[in-house]
Chain A
Amino acid sequence: MAVKDRIARVGIELEGGWMVVPPGERCERDGSVIFLPEAGKIAPINKGEIISRPLLRSEMRSWMERSYPSHVNATCGLHVHMSFRHHHINYMRLMTPAYTEAIVRGLARWAAHESLPPTHPLWDRLGKRDHHHCAHQYLGDQQVHVDHKDYHSRGKPHSRYTAINYCFKLHKTLECRILPMFDTSDQAVRAVDEVLNITNMFLATIRLKETRIQAKVALRSVVRSVYRSTV
């Protein structure tokens, strides 16, 4: 049975190096992207990240193919932002540690299916629960209130360096930060597709009826204070 697509728009951040920045795009500086000099290799002129506008899923492949960097290495991440149909309720249903676990498990299955070599950076990101860029830790309830990019948030309750970053106040989106960049744009598209599929599957399997939570203050007896003194 086909799973309902609950994703409204997708935003992609491609990190890497470009000899020529694709027309219409802008390469923004990103301190985490590092290309060390290598013998016999020409370093890219432009290093950093290119960020897409909010895309329909059908527009994703062409944008990624057109904008994909010529140079990538293990320091480069591929971040996927998502917004949803019936945005708030689907967003809130993903606010659980179980979603991070589902993403890690699902991507591990996909990586095995793709026969990624053991040295591929994705394995490192999936295997290290305390990965520097994408710890497998749920901090959603604090992250949703952060209204700026805090580059010094590691170790704090709202650290953005988690596998799933709930950047609701900043972008109104949910960001999957666990993917690294891939050698080809084709494989990168498949990886992003898998993140979206896992997310849709997770939302489809939730059988959660939203309940109304009550908070009531009851009338309490009159406070009676008695003061007596004798002079």
Chain B
Amino acid sequence: MNTETLNDGESVIALYLKRTEEGLQVNVQTAVAVEEFFKHWGGAQRRNVGTVGRLWKSNLQGGLLAWELSRLDDHTSFTLVQLGTDITRIGEAGPNLSFLRLVGVSEPGGVTFTVDSVISRGGLEKLAHQLNLACGRFYDEYIKPAEVDITVSVKPRF
């Protein structure tokens, strides 16, 4: 398993969004822990994104690959199961964070792909804010380390 040491305040998930001639360009970069999380829960199985949804385009040789997600229930305030679909639309399932499952997001430079969709400038700012909040919830829920200290003591007898 790959490991890395991050200091408080360093980015665990970073998204860069830009409107381009082909659509909305998305660059995703994450800490190793995020990719390891999906790799573990998908049994290290990969899936071609194009077999699920066709709106994400990339110049990567062999196309975009994502870690399978067979043993994890979808969250209620964001979705991880809508690979290749339009991330500019916040549907009933909440913001689409499926891009966190992409193979290679923890490599230097992360993964870049373009969504075949359009969005206004104001809409993009709103989207970035919503994705940011949802990524934060994902991190808190699944990645952030937690320590539990349980102490049961016996009352002294007098």
Residues of A within 8 A of B (CB): 86-89, 91-92, 95-96, 140-141, 144-145, 166, 168, 208, 210-231
| A213:B16 contact, CB within 8 angstroms | yes
| A213:B20 contact, CB within 8 angstroms | no
A217 interface neighbour in B12, B116, B151, Cβ under 8 Å: B12
| B16:A86 contact, CB within 8 angstroms | no
Q: Smallest CB–CB gap between A218 and chain B, Å? A: 5
Q: A213–B26 Cα gap in the complex (Å)?
A: 10
Interface string of B114-158 (1 = CB under 8 A from A): 001111111111001101100110011000111111111111000
Indicate whether B19 reaches chain A with its CB closer than 8 angstroms: yes
Q: A215–B116 Cα gap in the complex (Å)?
A: 20
Q: A173–B149 Cα gap in the complex (Å)?
A: 59
| B136:A141 contact, CB within 8 angstroms | no
Chain A residues in 8 Å Cβ range of B118: 88, 91-92, 95, 144, 166, 168
Q: A117–B71 Cα gap in the complex (Å)?
A: 69
Q: Which of B1-40 contact A (CB under 8 A)?
A: 6-23, 31
| A96:B140 contact, CB within 8 angstroms | no
B151 interface neighbour in A91, A216, A218, A228, Cβ under 8 Å: A228
Chain B residues in 8 Å Cβ range of A91: 118
Q: A227–B139 Cα gap in the complex (Å)?
A: 24
How many positions in chain B have a CB within 8 Å of any CB in the partner chain? 52
* A interface, over-half SS: mixed
Q: A102–B121 Cα gap in the complex (Å)?
A: 18
A141 interface neighbour in B18, B120, B139, B153, Cβ under 8 Å: B120
* B interface, over-half SS: mixed
Indicate whether B89 reaches chain A with its CB closer than 8 angstroms: yes
| B86:A217 contact, CB within 8 angstroms | no
| A215:B128 contact, CB within 8 angstroms | yes
Residues of B within 8 A of A (CB): 6-23, 31, 86, 88-89, 116-125, 128-129, 131-132, 135-136, 139-140, 144-155
Chain B residues in 8 Å Cβ range of A140: 120
Q: A223–B17 Cα gap in the complex (Å)?
A: 30
Chain B residues in 8 Å Cβ range of A222: 144-147
Interface centre among A89, A96, A210, A213 (most CB of B within 10 A): A213
| B8:A220 contact, CB within 8 angstroms | yes
| A214:B16 contact, CB within 8 angstroms | yes
Q: A226–B120 Cα gap in the complex (Å)?
A: 47
Q: Smallest CB–CB gap between A168 and chain B, Å? A: 5
Q: A231–B118 Cα gap in the complex (Å)?
A: 62
Chain A residues in 8 Å Cβ range of B155: 230-231
